[in-house]
Amino acid sequence: MKPPTLSFHHHLHTPFLHNTTNLSLPRPTPSASRLSNGLFTVRMSLREDGPSVAIVGVTGAVGQEFLSVLSDRDFPYRSLKLLASKRSAGKSLTFEGHDYTVEELTENSFENVDIALFSAGGSISKKFGPIAVERGSVVVDNSSAFRMDEKIPLVIPEVNPEAMEHIKLKSGKSALIANPNCSTIICLMAATPLHRRAKVTRMVVSTYQAASGAGAAAMEELEQQTREVLEGKEPTCKIFKQQYAFNLFSHNAPILSNGYNEEEMKLVKETRKIWNDMNVKVTATCIRVPVMRAHAESVNLQFENPLDEDTAREILSNAPGLVVIDDRTANYFPTPLEVSNKDDVAVGRIRRDASQDGNYGLEIFVCGDQIRKGAALNAVQIAEKLL
């Protein structure tokens, strides 16, 4: 079986800012065309007719990935404003051949900004998101601050684009759109095409979540701990308060009164909102595993209507943003490593649930890049739909 091709991006790993003051990212020249010499593709997305874009939280892992995705997808923009905390303000950044200075996020940051991409945490979003909207921006927010607000669309473009179809830049109306949680996005990219065909009545999800979900500092600590453990040293435990390298543990989100943690309940509640189905039964167990930037999820689906595994495989093969990796003979299935730095979500282990009679249940295994499709890519795809 020939291995499937996943869309891969030849930019460097997300560059993290430590004490450095300069950062360089790939450069397109200002034009709407594209040039290629066979080895490199020169992307050209700075355009006079594009929207003005602001990135809030630009020095974080997702903020940096916003820049990579904007460049990779030739997203048109006429100006770019890079915003972060007072601590990061003043740092220099080179993006697409232009030098920028990171500015401190303030209430005056959103004058003449058309699209504001937020990834700076819930408290920042709650404070500054409404301010940006008031100033006329369309905000795409990556935090959990607004996801369950019934007035705010919660959008995965391949899944429920109709939820934001009333929002367009040229309409002159500002708005706020929420980006779902990373585990929800990755799960529903695979579950939704099957739900459309056979209607999911119950979904059981177990997640195996990467360090990137806790930010750049967690990724750095995993790398540091790995070195320390291999050298026989005590691991540095600042982010998770316990050893992460060569270990796994229940997701570090707070535990709620029902025994679930917040991450698990996000998947439950967000699925119901995105599918517009308050009756679908969803349960989840979320685990943190020592993987750098891609989540894996085991998903058990129970259907109202029968769906055999061959039909399911065909449906998934034709779904946008998905690649099927399902070679039983070679025991070759999705892995976090293979989907890292890639746009597509991979799905495999497609098989009938042997605990159910007939073709009313399926098991699938899904992997997706948490920083990319689980956050930055999804947000930029939302922004593309605004154009």
- The answer to whether residues 266 and 230 touch, using CB atoms and an 8 Å cutoff, is no
Please count the other Cβ atoms lying within 10 Å of the Cβ belonging to residue 246.
Answer: 11
What is the DSSP pairing of strand 41-42 with strand 35-36? antiparallel
d(CA 24, CA 86): 21
- The answer to whether residues 77 and 50 touch, using CB atoms and an 8 Å cutoff, is yes
Which residue of the set 182, 187, 286, 367 is catalytic? 182
- What lies within 8 Å, CB to CB, of 279 at 6+ separation is none
Known catalytic residue: 182?
A: yes
- Residue whose C-alpha is closest to residue 373's, from 150, 212, 182: 182
Please count the helices (runs of H) and the strands (runs of E) in the chain.
8, 17
Strand boundaries in the chain, DSSP class E: 35-36, 41-42, 52-56, 79-84, 92-95, 98-101, 103-104, 115-118, 138-141, 175-178, 200-209, 249-250, 281-288, 294-303, 322-324, 345-352, 361-369
CA 220 to chain centre: 19
SS3 label, residue 117 = strand
CA pseudo-torsion sign 16, 97, 118, 284 = negative
d(CA 215, CA 201): 34
Known catalytic residue: 295?
A: yes
E strand or H helix that includes residue 192: helix 182-198
d(CA 305, CA 262): 31
Which residue of the set 187, 251, 295, 367 is catalytic? 295
Place of tokens 């399902």: 326
52: its two tokens: 């003005």
SS3 label, residue 170 = helix
Please count the other Cβ atoms lying within 10 Å of the Cβ belonging to residue 29.
Answer: 14
What residues are annotated to the active site?
A: 182, 295
